[in-house]
Structure 1
Amino acid sequence: MLEPPRLAEHRREPILNVPPVITVLAVVMLAIQVVRDWVSPEIGVEILALFAFIPARFDPSVLAEGVLPGGVAADIWTFVTYAFLHGGWTHVGLNLLWMLAFGTPVARRFGTVRFLLFFAATAAAGAGLHLLTHEGELVPMIGASAAVSGCMAAALRFMFAHEGHAVWRPDIVGNTVHYPAPPLIEAMRDRRVIGFVAVWFIINLAFGVGAPAGIVDGSVAWEAHIGGFIVGLLLFPLFDPVGRTPDDQLFPRLDR
């Protein structure tokens, strides 16, 4: 019996096929790290002042207006551009590994434009929460961890969505990106989701004061991680192009 063309197409889709948008983001982050390693320390400081997220930029009592370059425009773009800077090769490498693991399925589901908007939104959310908890701080925050945390939360919204929609197949993990995601309140009843969220928060809270990542002084900007994760979890439906009602032809239901 012939199978539906759309189902056959998805079956041939490689599970580990990396979307171009993930590749481009990775290349940009690696290229920026190369440039930062190559330029003089003075220029490196200027790059941080212009593109890193510095809470003191928004507090006139700490820094006079005009002290940091970029002006009002930098006040806006640094909510996102900080995600492309990293404290070293270990930092950028770890973030890219996590982005490959969790950003890949999200990018395949959202598409390029939606994914870039989602990446920017979760990065900005991370910067926003960091600003609220580090008001007036001079230490710049850098790293893609907040956006990667948002990707983790988004992947969590649909990674178990195949159950109840289709029979198990060897490529079920890869095809999960095509299944309708349950509402958040329903997803949060799943013990696996609850366990993932609990462990994720425990790890961030436990290592947030000592592990080497996040900001240039060596501490972890764990509040930014939480901001990106929560916004990714809550705003997922705004970016998700997959409908709530499964196509019976694409998602054959289990006999009950």
Structure 2
Amino acid sequence: MDSPPAQQPLPLPSEPPREPILNLPGALTAYVALLAVIHLRVLLPPDLEYWTIEVFGFIPKRYDATLLAAPFPGGTGAKVWTFVTYSLLHANLSHIIFNVLWLLPFGSAVARRFGTARFFLFMAVTAIAGAFAHLVTHEHEIAPMIGASASVSGAMAAAIRFAFARGGFLSLRRGDADAAARVPAQPLTRALRDPRVLAFLGIWFGINIIFGIGSIAVGNEGASVAWQAHIGGFFAGLLLFSLFDPVPRRVPAPAEPN
């Protein structure tokens, strides 16, 4: 008499994969790491540390064409690269932490959507827009402006173009992070009619105009807030988003003939 076949052990239920607590896209991780490495310049002797601000910070007086124009370290080259490099410098640890904390939720979504190359180019373009806004409103200013807040503001503006769409990371119906970052964006005219977007814009502009939180201009008399640069970066992110967005727009289905 044959013995009964041995019972096979029942498979154990597989545990659902655990999401990392801080699951940042590679592009944003690289950007934050770049800011952190550059911030190590604060360990330099004070004279050399401030020299890095003069060479790589954005100084409106550098573009003064009058006879009273003062020479600055960096020469002609600094008139070009400081439109971007100022955004990689920070005054102190609290300054860089503040910018990174704002960047984590919004920059993550934008970095997932754009990919590395587009994300870094976008951050550079919004930094340039912030520098132009600061230059127009601070002509002849000698205090260097530093800080990533213009780029952070641009990332926030880009994010709201798709954040409130169905399935977006600020909508009530959310999927995983990658899917939420790839939902089709709203047209700008429709986004500006969304009450949630308008409420976000009102709060953001109110904070920046009234309190001036963010980017810092370092001068001899202390620090002041370069809130105009935030607004320049924000408008650039809002208006130029479509030039960087690789996700196709949702095309409405054609209406059937009666």
* TM-score using structure 1 length: 0.83
Question: Cα RMSD between the aligned structures?
Answer: 2.6
Distance change (3 Å), C-alpha of 1:212 and 1:114: closer
- 1:213 touches 1:221 (CA, 8 Å); kept in 2? yes
Q: What residue number does 1:123 align with?
A: 127
Match of 1:235 among 218, 240, 244: 240
Matched, 1:63 2:69: yes
Distance change (3 Å), C-alpha of 1:163 and 1:177: closer
Identify unmatched segments of 5+ residues in structure 2: 1-16, 254-258
- 2:216 touches 2:225 (CA, 8 Å); kept in 1? yes
Matched, 1:28 2:34: yes
| Code of the aligned partner of 1:156 | I
Q: Secondary structure at the match of 1:215?
A: strand
Write out per-residue CA displacement over residues 34-69 of structure 1, whole angstroms, 9 at most, x where no aligned residue: 222x111110121011100000000032424xx212
In 1, the alpha carbon distance for the partners of 2:191 and 2:150 equals 22
Match of 2:80 among 76, 82, 85: 76
- 1:149 touches 1:228 (CA, 8 Å); kept in 2? yes
- 1:161 touches 1:176 (CA, 8 Å); kept in 2? no
* CA positional deviation for 1:174: 5.1
Distance change (3 Å), C-alpha of 1:98 and 1:240: same
- 2:146 touches 2:217 (CA, 8 Å); kept in 1? yes
Relative contact order higher in (CA < 8 Å, ≥ 6 apart) = 1
Matched, 1:19 2:21: no
1:146-185 counterparts in 2 under 5 A?
A: 146-162=150-166, 171=175, 175-185=179-189
- 2:215 touches 2:227 (CA, 8 Å); kept in 1? no
Aligned residue pairs: how many?
231
**% same residue:** 51
1:208-219 counterparts in 2 under 5 A?
A: 208=212, 213-216=215-218, 217-219=222-224
Identify the range of structure 1 (19-28 vs 79-88) with the bigger mean alpha-carbon deviation.
19-28
* CA positional deviation for 1:172: 5.6
Q: Which structure has more helix as a fraction of its residues?
A: 1
In 1, the alpha carbon distance for the partners of 2:161 and 2:120 equals 18
* CA positional deviation for 1:182: 1.3
Match of 2:115 among 93, 111, 116: 111
| Code of the aligned partner of 1:59 | D
- 2:99 touches 2:152 (CA, 8 Å); kept in 1? yes
In 2, the alpha carbon distance for the partners of 1:16 and 1:106 equals 16
Q: What residue number does 1:86 align with?
A: 90
In 2, the alpha carbon distance for the partners of 1:148 and 1:240 equals 17
Q: Secondary structure at the match of 1:100?
A: helix
In 1, the alpha carbon distance for the partners of 2:152 and 2:161 equals 15
Structure 1 runs (4+) deviating above 3 angstroms are 11-16, 167-170
Q: Secondary structure at the match of 1:244?
A: coil
Distance change (3 Å), C-alpha of 1:58 and 1:87: same
| Code of the aligned partner of 1:120 | A
Identify unmatched segments of 5+ residues in structure 1: 1-10, 249-256
In 2, the alpha carbon distance for the partners of 1:102 and 1:163 equals 15
Distance change (3 Å), C-alpha of 1:173 and 1:197: farther
| Code of the aligned partner of 2:243 | L
- 1:14 touches 1:174 (CA, 8 Å); kept in 2? no
Write out per-residue CA displacement over residues 88-138 of structure 1, whole angstroms, 9 at most, x where no aligned residue: 100000001111121110000000011111000000000000000000100
In 1, the alpha carbon distance for the partners of 2:151 and 2:48 equals 26
* CA positional deviation for 1:70: 2.1
In 2, the alpha carbon distance for the partners of 1:163 and 1:83 equals 32
* CA positional deviation for 1:220: 1.2
Q: Secondary structure at the match of 2:217?
A: coil
In 1, the alpha carbon distance for the partners of 2:241 and 2:105 equals 18
